[in-house]
Amino acid sequence: MTDDPWNAFITRVEPGEAGPGPLSGKTLAVKDLFDTAGVRTTYGSGLYSDHVPQRTAAAAQLLLNAGAVLVGKTNLTEFAWGVLGDNQWYGTCRNPTQPGLTTGGSSSGSAAALAAGLCDLALGTDTGCSIRLPAAACDVVGLKSQWGLISVEGVFPLCPTLDTVGPMARSVADVALAWSVLTDRRVPEPRLTGLTVGLLRQPPGIGDGRVTETSDVVEGWVGDLERLGARVVEARVPEPEANTWPQFQHEALQSHAATFPSRGDEYGEVMHKKLEAAQRATPEEIEAAYRAIEVWRRYEPEVDLYVSPCYAIELPPEDADELEVRLPLTSFLRWVNLVGWAGLAIGNMQLIALRDEVVLAAGLAWENAA
């Protein structure tokens, strides 16, 4: 079996025989947050180091049923709550394309395995950045699907109001093919012609009062977007009416109620700090956060598609302090989960729209023209 100097996998699996289907013979790496029957599934935690599920998560099973061949379970931030590729229990995941810099998190191993050529397809989750940031950092492609479209059954939850599942690959075409299997929908025809594309130079905040990062990197994409038939305009997205962070903290605590704080000493240092902080959210703050998200999700965008970078600061080193970099590193990504839209990362380019079909069609058009 191929060596893994990038520590992309927690558990390797000897490939079986490929079955028939649209993904026949394509090798698949699955984030170790998804249950896999008979294969160790740790959720990136020491608490579950010997856990072997009896079932396979719905999304993973769909890909296997379509002929994909499982080659392993990939490394991730503990319980998928983190933006870097470090893991106290299973070691740091390393970036094959930018050595010494972070892979991004939390689907770090999925992106690294793709970038290193250890698999053809990967499956990840995205609650605030966790598919798109690793895809950008490792220069691959990842889809944060619109909320509620792809099943999260059999995936350890972090924040169900924001949790999404999505495919990752080295091309938009392969991501779209896997998405078609996961959703039972046809791959959309490539399209940018006739779309109004909004340049997002500064993302909305999450309501906590923090001023978000700005970037003019989108300027470099305008000429090609216009050549492909898009009308490009400046765009902004409104801010939420209240701080949304307490909603995330509330649901994270609920997801861990069976083991935190009762087994708190078995959590990693960073995860423990985050859950401790989550306990300080008040009922009033939580209620206001839910209201703000509900209102924000009714917003109707003024453009067909937004384009932005995935990250706008220098990519941190792999041993950076996660608590220091998590907000500036993810400001262009987090808001997309809160509004429930789709986001497609093609390297550091992010395409954002209400529906998966729109970002995939645009991504295919962009890729075909490259």
Distance of alpha carbon 53 from its chain centroid, rounded? Answer: 23
Give the 3-state secondary structure of 204-266.
CCCCCCCCCCCCCHHHHHHHHHHHCCCEEEEECCCCCCCCCHHHHHHHHHHHCCCCCCCCHHH
- Cα separation of 221 and 217, whole Å? 8
Cβ-contact 306, 198 below 8 angstroms? yes
- Cα separation of 28 and 15, whole Å? 9
Nearest of 305, 290, 312 to residue 341 by alpha carbon = 305
Indicate which residue of 26, 31, 73, 274 is catalytic: 31
Backbone angles phi, psi at 143, to 5 degrees: -110, 120
Indicate which residue of 45, 130, 215, 308 is catalytic: 130
Judge whether 106 counts as a catalytic residue. Answer: yes
DSSP label of 145:
P
- The alpha-carbon radius of gyration of the chain (Å, integer) is 19
Residue where the block lists tokens 């890729």: 367
Burial 213-241 (b: 16+ CB within 10 A, else e): bebebbeebeeebeebebebeebebebbe
Indicate which residue of 26, 45, 73, 106 is catalytic: 106
Retrieve residue 359's tokens.
């970002």
Backbone angles phi, psi at 133, to 5 degrees: -65, -50
Amino acid at site 111: A
- Cα separation of 76 and 123, whole Å? 12
Give the DSSP H/E element, type plus range, for residue 200. strand 196-200
Instruction: For Cα atoms 217, 218, 223, give the angle at the middle one, nearest 5 degrees.
Output: 120
Judge whether 31 counts as a catalytic residue. Answer: yes
Judge whether 331 counts as a catalytic residue. Answer: no
- Cα separation of 355 and 147, whole Å? 9
Question: Which amino acids are annotated catalytic?
Answer: 31, 106, 130
